[in-house]
C-alpha cells in the first residue's frame, strides 16, 4: 500500500491543540493496525528550537538521533508510542538554510531562487522523505494559523502534494467561538477560516472543531453546508478532563472512521480497551501526592512539559494523582526552604542552562537530603546534587560547576571531553541516545531490571572524574556509567530513602501506559513518604 498523507492545519486562533489532535489521530489509526509516523512543520525562521528561550517556545524535545525539536513531537511520541527522528521536525529556518546552501554550491545552475518552486520543492522533499515501506500513514501538522504570512509556503507545498498524488487528506482544526454573556456558539469564524484555505487552493476534507461546549446538530449542519464538507466530517473536539482522554472522545465522534473512509483504508475498528483502562485509572486515582518542582522557568509550565507528563504517568501507575508545587529557584534560599518545600513528598530539579537560580536549586537538594525527602535530579538537577554533596558532605566549600564559575578551585562539574558529543554553539554538546551500564545492587538497576540501558541527553558539562574517589569515600554511589566507564550517568545516595540524579533526560521516553522506571520509583517513594507522615 502506498503511503497516505494527512495534513493538519489550524484556523481562527493559535493554541487550539493541533498537536494533540495529530497525536490522538495517530493513536487511533495505530490501534486500527496501521503503521503511523508524525511530522511537524514550524513557520519560524530559527533552524530549530535548541537556542530559543523556554519562555518563548516551551521545552526542547530531543529525539533518539539527537535532534532538538518542537514540544509537539513529545505529544506524538507519548500518544503514538513511536520513536521519531530529526526529520519529523522541520522549521522554515531548516528549509531556507538547505536551499541557500544549495544555491551557494551552484546546485541550481544559476537560477533565480524563489519561494515557488525552490522553497516549496524543499518542503515537499521533507514530506516525501517520510515515505517508507513500513509506514502506512504520515500525519503532517502545519504550525501556525491559516492566514499567517509565515505559513504560506507550507500551505502551497501541501496543495501541490495533493495535486501530484492520490491518498491525501486535509484536516482543519478551527475554533467555534462562544459569545461572552450569552454563551451562544458561533460558526462564522470557522467559515471564514475555511474560506481562507479555499483561497489558497485547499478544500478541507474534515473539520475538527474546538469548543468547550457541545456543538449542536444545527451548527454542524451549517458548518457542513457552508464549508462544503460532509455532515459526519464535522467533528466536535470538546475539552477533555484529561489529555489522554482526547483520542477516546474523537473516536466517539467518528474521526478515525471518516479518515479511513476518505483515504480508502480498510481496517478493523480500533481496540481502545487498554487505553480506556489507563484513562479511567488516571481519572479515578485513590491517592494524592505533592511534588515540588524546583526550576528557573516555572512561570511557563510548558518549559517542563515532558517532566510534568512523566510524573502524571508514574502517578497513574501508582494509583495516585501527582500535584506539582511550582517553586522558582531564584526565590529559594536556606532561610525559606522549609517554608517553600515543607509538606512536599518529593523534590525534583529538572534540566536547564546558565547560572540563574542555581543556588536555589542547591538549597532544594540540601533540604531533600537532610530531611530525607525523596529527590530526583535530571541533567542539571544531577549536577547541582553533586555540587551540594561536594560542599556539605565532602567539605569542598567552594565546589561549583565550571559552567557557573571560572574561578572555583573545585570544578566538580566541568566541560566534557571533545571525544564525545557534537559541536554546538561553540562548545561540545551531547545530544540524543547514549548507552549506560548500571551498577549492581543500586536503585536504578532494580528499577530498570536490566544491566544496560540507553537514554537521551542534552548537555555540555559532565561529572569531573577527578573527584570520583573522594565522593565514593564520602558515600556517593556512581550507579551508572558509559560502557567505557569514562562518563558518569547516574549518582545515588544509598543512605537516603530515595536520592537519584541522572545526567540524561528520562522524561523523553515515558509513556502514559508505560511510565519511565525512574519516575515510577520516585513517585512510589514520594507516596511512601506521605504515608509515613
The reply, when asked if residue 141 is annotated as ligand binding, is yes
The reply, when asked if residue 188 is annotated as ligand binding, is yes
The reply, when asked if residue 240 is annotated as ligand binding, is yes
Instruction: Quote the Cα angle for 299-301-302, to 5°.
Output: 125
The reply, when asked if residue 460 is annotated as ligand binding, is yes
The reply, when asked if residue 191 is annotated as ligand binding, is yes
| Contact partners, residue 500, CB within 8 Å, separation at least 6 | 375, 376, 377, 443, 444, 479, 490, 491, 492, 518, 521, 522
| Contact partners, residue 342, CB within 8 Å, separation at least 6 | none
The reply, when asked if residue 378 is annotated as ligand binding, is no
What number of other Cβ atoms are within 10 A of residue 153's Cβ?
A: 20
Q: Count Cβ atoms within 10 A of the Cβ of residue 186 and give its class: 0-12 exposed, 13-18 middle, 19 or more buried.
A: middle
The reply, when asked if residue 291 is annotated as ligand binding, is no
The reply, when asked if residue 381 is annotated as ligand binding, is yes
The active-site residue, picked from 414, 457, 505, 516, is 505
- Backbone Cα Rg of the chain: 25
Cα gap 333→416, rounded to integer Å: 30
Catalytic residue flag (residue 528): no
The reply, when asked if residue 210 is annotated as ligand binding, is no
Strand partners, 345: none
The reply, when asked if residue 14 is annotated as ligand binding, is yes
Pick from 37, 86, 96: nearest CA to 61 = 86
Cα gap 90→111, rounded to integer Å: 25
The reply, when asked if residue 19 is annotated as ligand binding, is yes
The active-site residue, picked from 209, 363, 507, 516, is 507
Cα gap 408→111, rounded to integer Å: 56
Cα gap 185→188, rounded to integer Å: 10
Instruction: Quote the Cα angle for 260-263-265, to 5°.
Output: 55
The active-site residue, picked from 345, 379, 436, 462, is 379
Catalytic residue flag (residue 505): yes
Q: Which residue in this structure is represented by grid cell 515540588? A: 292
The reply, when asked if residue 282 is annotated as ligand binding, is no
The reply, when asked if residue 77 is annotated as ligand binding, is no
Cα gap 57→70, rounded to integer Å: 8
The reply, when asked if residue 509 is annotated as ligand binding, is no
What number of other Cβ atoms are within 10 A of residue 277's Cβ?
A: 11
Catalytic residue flag (residue 507): yes
Collapse the DSSP code of 172 into the 3-class scheme (helix H, G, I; strand E, B; otherwise coil) and give the result.
strand
The reply, when asked if residue 299 is annotated as ligand binding, is no
The reply, when asked if residue 134 is annotated as ligand binding, is no
The reply, when asked if residue 380 is annotated as ligand binding, is yes
| Contact partners, residue 389, CB within 8 Å, separation at least 6 | 369, 471, 474, 476, 493
The reply, when asked if residue 158 is annotated as ligand binding, is no
The reply, when asked if residue 527 is annotated as ligand binding, is no
The reply, when asked if residue 427 is annotated as ligand binding, is no
* Binding site as annotated, residues: 14-20, 55, 72, 141, 148-150, 186-191, 222, 240, 352, 380-383, 403, 460
Residue numbers annotated as active site: 379, 505, 507
* Binding site as annotated, residues for Mg(2+): 72, 141
* Binding site as annotated, residues for ATP: 15-20, 72, 240
* Binding site as annotated, residues for L-glutamine: 55, 352, 380-383, 403, 460
* Binding site as annotated, residues for CTP: 14, 148-150, 186-191, 222
Amino acid at each position: 500500500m502506498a503511503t497516505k498523507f494527512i495534513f493538519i492545519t489550524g484556523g481562527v486562533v493559535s493554541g487550539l491543540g493541533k498537536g494533540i489532535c495529530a497525536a490522538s489521530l495517530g493513536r487511533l489509526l495505530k490501534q486500527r493496525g496501521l503503521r503511523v509516523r508524525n511530522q511537524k512543520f514550524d513557520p519560524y525562521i530559527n533552524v530549530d528550537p535548541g537556542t530559543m528561550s523556554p519562555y518563548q517556545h516551551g521545552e526542547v524535545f530531543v529525539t533518539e538521533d539527537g535532534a532538538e525539536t518542537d514540544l509537539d513531537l513529545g505529544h506524538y511520541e507519548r500518544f503514538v508510542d513511536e520513536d521519531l527522528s530529526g526529520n519529523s521536525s522541520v522549521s522554515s529556518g531548516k528549509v531556507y538554510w538547505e536551499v541557500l546552501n544549495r544555491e551557494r554550491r551552484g546546485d541550481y545552475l544559476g537560477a533565480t531562487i524563489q519561494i515557488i518552486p525552490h522553497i516549496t520543492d524543499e518542503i515537499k522533499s521533507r514530506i516525501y522523505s517520510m515515505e517508507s515501506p513500513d509506514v502506512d500513514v504520515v500525519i503532517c501538522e502545519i504550525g501556525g494559523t491559516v492566514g499567517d504570512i509565515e505559513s504560506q509556503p507550507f500551505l502551497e507545498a501541501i496543495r501541490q502534494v495533493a495535486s501530484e498524488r492520490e491518498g491525501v487528506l486535509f484536516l482543519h482544526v478551527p475554533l467555534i467561538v462562544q459569545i461572552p454573556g450569552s454563551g451562544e456558539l458561533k460558526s462564522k469564524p470557522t467559515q471564514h477560516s475555511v474560506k481562507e484555505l479555499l483561497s489558497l487552493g485547499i478544500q478541507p476534507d474534515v473539520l475538527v472543531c474546538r469548543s468547550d461546549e457541545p456543538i449542536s446538530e444545527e451548527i454542524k449542519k451549517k458548518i457542513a453546508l457552508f464549508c462544503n464538507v460532509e455532515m459526519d466530517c464535522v467533528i466536535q473536539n470538546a475539552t477533555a478532563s484529561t489529555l489522554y482522554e482526547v483520542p477516546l472522545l474523537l473516536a466517539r465522534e467518528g474521526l478515525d472512521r471518516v479518515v479511513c473512509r476518505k483515504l480508502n483504508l480498510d481496517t478493523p475498528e480500533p481496540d481502545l480497551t487498554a487505553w480506556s483502562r489507563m484513562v479511567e485509572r488516571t481519572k479515578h486515582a485513590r491517592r494524592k501526592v505533592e511534588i515540588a518542582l524546583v526550576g528557573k522557568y516555572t512561570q511557563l509550565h510548558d518549559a517542563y512539559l515532558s517532566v510534568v507528563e512523566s510524573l502524571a504517568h508514574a502517578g497513574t501507575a501508582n494509583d495516585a494523582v501527582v500535584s506539582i508545587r511550582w517553586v522558582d529557584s531564584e526565590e529559594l534560599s536556606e532561610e525559606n526552604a522549609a517554608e517553600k518545600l515543607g509538606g512536599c513528598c518529593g523534590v525534583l530539579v529538572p534540566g536547564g542552562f546558565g547560572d540563574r537560580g542555581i543556588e536555589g536549586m542547591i538549597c532544594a537538594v540540601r533540604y531533600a537530603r537532610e530531611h530525607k525527602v525523596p529527590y530526583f535530579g535530571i541533567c542539571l538537577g544531577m549536577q547541582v546534587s553533586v555540587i551540594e554533596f561536594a560542599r556539605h558532605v565532602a567539605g569542598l566549600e567552594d565546589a561549583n560547576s565550571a559552567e557557573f564559575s571560572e574561578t572555583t578551585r573545585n570544578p566538580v562539574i566541568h566541560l566534557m571531553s571533545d571525544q564525545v558529543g557534537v559541536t554546538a554553539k561553540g562548545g561540545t554538546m551531547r545530544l540524543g541516545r547514549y548507552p549506560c551500564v548500571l551498577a549492581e545492587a543500586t536503585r536504578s538497576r532494580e528499577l530498570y531490571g536490566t544491566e544496560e540501558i540507553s537514554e537521551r541527553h542534552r548537555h555540555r558539562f559532565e561529572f569531573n572524574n577527578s573527584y570520583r574517589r573522594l565522593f565514593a569515600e564520602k558515600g556517593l554511589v556512581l550507579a551508572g556509567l558509559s560502557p567505557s566507564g569514562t562518563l558518569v550517568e547516574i549518582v545515588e545516595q544509598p543512605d537516603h530513602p530515595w536520592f537519584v540524579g541522572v545526567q540524561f533526560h528520562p522524561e523523553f521516553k515515558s509513556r502514559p501506559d508505560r511510565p519511565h522506571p525512574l519516575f515510577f520509583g520516585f513517585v512510589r517513594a514520594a507516596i511512601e513518604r506521605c504515608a509515613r507522615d
